[in-house]
Amino acid sequence: MDIARTPATPDGNPEMADAAYEPKAPPEIRRSDYAPFPWLVPTTRLEFELGLERTRVTARLDVERNPVAAVSPTIRLNGDGLELASLTCDGGEPEGRMMDGDDLLVTLSGDRHVLEIVTEIDPSANSQLMGLYASGGMLCTQCEAEGFRRITFFPDRPDVLSTYSVRMSGAKAQFPVLLCNGNRVDSGESADGGDHWAEWHDPWPKPSYLFALVAGDLVARSDSFTTMGGRDVELNVYVRDGDLDRTEHAMESLKRSMKWDEEVFGREYDLDLFNIVAVSDFNMGAMENKGLNIFNTKYVLADTETATDGDYDGIEGVIGHEYFHNWSGNRVTCRDWFQLSLKEGFTVLRDQLFSADMGSEPVKRIEDVRILRGVQFPEDSGPLAHPIRPDSYREISNFYTATVYNKGAEVIRMMRTMAGEKAFRRGTDLYFKRHDGEAATCEDFVRAMEDGTGLDLEQFRLWYSQAGTPKVAATLSHDGDVATLKLTQTVPPTPGQPDKKPMPIPFRVALFDRKAGTHSGEQLLVLDRASAEFTFEGFAHKPVLSINRGFSAPVSIERDVSREELVFLAARDDDPFARYEAMQELMTGYLVGSVSGDLDESESEAARGDIAEALKAVVEDDQLDDLMRGELLMMPSQSYIGEQMLVADPGAIHVAREALKTDLGTRLGEALHRLYDRAAQVPFSLDAEAKGARKIKTLVLSYAAASDPAKAAELAASQYDRADNMTDRQGALMVLAGLDSAERTARLLDFYNRYRGNALVVDKWFALQASSLHPQVVAHVEALRSHPDFNLRNPNRVRSLYMAFAANPAGFHAADGAGYRMIADLVLELDPINAQTAARFVPSLGRWRRIEEKRAAMMRDALERIARAPKLSRDTFEQVTRSLG
């Protein structure tokens, strides 16, 4: 499924730790308590009599005792708000039954039984969008992690695998398309033609979280794919009528994914049918249900008039991710939810490698690292820090995190780096062979990698159990013709883990001859102790260190390096990521020093001059493609700058960052505008050159907006008016949205009127305003909350306005606390409607320990106000109480 620390007491505010609000907590579930389920469910037969307001579900379960589990006289069938219409065991009354909370306990004395359970549910009332729910006149499901228990009573846990046969029936006019997992085996209709039915069978055992059903009025783009084994697979992308012409890219992405997975991982598709359905009401990005992937419309629909280059890339990546789950998640699933990174971390790595092969490998790597640093590093250094394999949870939906997904991918990538690509492939082949059809663990994966690659990963397992981002100090010294690199690692304390052990950290490094501007080759070093030294001979002069090339390890590096050396690396490093890193470090170092007051005026001027010199070299480097040039020209985000400080002042960081942008835009104005003019001559296409040109134009506009707002408004308005694609139009409007100008008002109105019938583009309209640098952004968001097109029950619309605002440091961290109060108000209003979506807003407030004292107090007040609310969901309760500490 797709979807991104410090000590317990707050920095500088120890008195705050004593005021934590502590309501009654939901029960804690511990990994150490895992035990196999006492009963197996080899086959499950489901019958759905479908209706938007009343659906009747009949479940027939063949159950038998699990020989590897402790004997139990009862079977626990999980439920969530269900009403039991009837229950039989072997055709008669069960020996005993009782309710335990929402769960149904049935007494079973024999070794094998057949249970028949009938429930009735109201999909139209299901605003949580978990289980079976109604969306715009259609029915669909979302069962990961624990949604199946909202459909029928069942052992709703990932280690209970069953083969499913499903019969669906309903009004043909209302539900002309009936879809389920697996292959369709039969269909028909009633004598009068009013109702129809379809039967589906999935031959591959799966856990209940992978069950899926869709019924509605849909149309399909159809195609086919022939697997490497000769199987002909029918492919369909189902959407609502009117959206079909925006599905070509999704279909092509699916076919590329299937071909790539065969070629790179040897994984062949295993059914006769693969269906994708686009749904407008969806909590996540997409879901990998076996043979029936359900997607948020955002990750299916695209054409050049309505989708940006980023949208195209996102669709390809998410479709790849969900398809790759067919093996890394479906054929081999996770034993329990503590093993979530087994499928998600591995599959994120697979989709990253796929996207890199489909586009620019270095740019994709930089994008992945930016997400990791922007979301996961803060998670690792805050109250919600947890290992990629957590030890406990209260609500599993809160652990669909950047740590489990993105850091999990980096951990597996490190194994690949240490083993090499060929050995890594041997390890993954062995993993799939050993555990096909099983519910496996992270340990199973690591053991397969050991056996397949020959690596000793005993110490490496610490990456699965320890939270926190390692900090590595790197110092390079020189004596005679020998250079010595000293590396020292520390893993900061995190909640529940005050003391950490050293972990193996693979570093790709190169030493540059500063005069020649070249190096003699890259080396792989593994730091597996608290401190180690590595020597390199043959250097008459001190070389320049290029470290963590390609971001070979998810760590934070503190290196003793001069600005002169950073300028050298920013201009000369042949590793694209290392070059990007040097540029980021140049700007971040200056901004941190500027905010902290560590630089006097002459030092500040010299630093700004060095940054401008490095950027000018990037602008004028004719060996760079524009996609990479755009990455090198991009300033570090405000949140990343704040992460480099023990206590951050968001207001001061914003002022310093905008001042640097103004300075650079002024110094480099002529060169940047020449770059813009050149990029503007590139005709539209979806190839790399044209995408890079569009990226450059938006970056130049952003620098111009800071240094010459009037000129920027004129240029952005002109770009908006002439745009023949959404990337150029949205890029121009993004810049205009932050300016107080007539051009801003006119183009925002035009954009809305042009696209008012397109929900995904209207989402962009909301998000552009909520994420803008406009000084009145808080008032704008408050006004947009009352807009007729805002809908609190649609997760996409909520995220487009409020998640964009929560990620906007200038607005969210408003000095008067209005941004914090706004998000707290939203959480309280949204929690009873959609707890999963509401809970995802809490972490933005949970960073209070790393924020200056005045703002920290207001953020904590907002959290305590949420915590005091009666009847908080488990999702939100856990996030709030952990954030308070």
pTM for the model stands at 0.96
Residue 33 phi, psi (nearest 5) = -90, 0
| Rounded average pLDDT over 223-245 | 98
**For residue 696, what is the enclosing H or E element?**
helix 688-707
- Out of 1.10.10.60, 3.40.630.40, 1.10.390.10, 3.40.50.11270, the CATH code matching 332-465 is 1.10.390.10
pLDDT at 403: 98
Asked if 686 and 713 count as a contact pair (C-beta separation under 8 A), the reply is no
| Rounded average pLDDT over 367-383 | 97
pLDDT at 2: 85
| Rounded average pLDDT over 478-506 | 97
**For residue 544, what is the enclosing H or E element?**
strand 544-546
pLDDT at position 5 over 70 = no
| Rounded average pLDDT over 512-527 | 96
CATH 1.10.8.60 for domain 471-553, yes or no, is no
pLDDT at 296: 98
Give the active site residues. 322
| Rounded average pLDDT over 665-672 | 98
Give the model confidence (pLDDT) of 29-82 as tens digits.
999 999 999 999 999 999 999 999 999 999 999 999 999 999 999 999 999 999
Taken in order 118, 124, 127, 130, the sign of the CA dihedral is: positive
Q: Which residues lie closer than 8 Å to 861 by C-beta, 6 or more apart?
A: 817, 820
| Rounded average pLDDT over 24-28 | 79
Give the model confidence (pLDDT) of 720-738 as tens digits.
999 999 999 999 999 999 9
pLDDT at position 10 over 50 = no
pLDDT at 22: 45
d(Cα 46, Cα 164) in Å, to the nearest integer?
A: 7
| Rounded average pLDDT over 752-759 | 98
Domains 42-65+72-217 and 471-553 share a fold: yes
Quickly state the pLDDT bin for 9 (edges 50, 70, 90). Answer: very low
- Supply the DSSP symbol for 789: T
d(Cα 668, Cα 564) in Å, to the nearest integer?
A: 20
Quickly state the pLDDT bin for 19 (edges 50, 70, 90). Answer: very low
Quickly state the pLDDT bin for 290 (edges 50, 70, 90). Answer: very high
What CA dihedral angle connects 844, 845, 846 and 849, to 10 degrees?
120
| Rounded average pLDDT over 521-536 | 98
| Rounded average pLDDT over 127-148 | 98
d(Cα 871, Cα 852) in Å, to the nearest integer?
A: 32
pLDDT at 24: 59
Q: How many other β-carbons are positioned within 10 Å of the β-carbon of residue 868?
A: 12
CATH 2.60.40.1730 for domain 42-65+72-217, yes or no, is yes
pLDDT at position 529 over 50 = yes
pLDDT at 6: 28
In the chain, what are the domain boundaries?
A: 42-65+72-217, 332-465, 471-553
pLDDT at position 469 over 90 = yes
pLDDT at position 126 over 80 = yes
Rounded to the nearest integer, the mean pLDDT of the chain is 96
Q: Which percentage of the chain shows pLDDT scores above 70?
A: 98
pLDDT at 26: 79
Quickly state the pLDDT bin for 857 (edges 50, 70, 90). Answer: very high
The alpha-carbon radius of gyration of the chain (Å, integer) is 28
Give the model confidence (pLDDT) of 779-814 as tens digits.
999 999 999 999 999 999 999 999 999 999 999 999
* Ordered DSSP codes for 404-433: IIIIHHHHHHHHHHHH-HHHHHHHHHHHHH
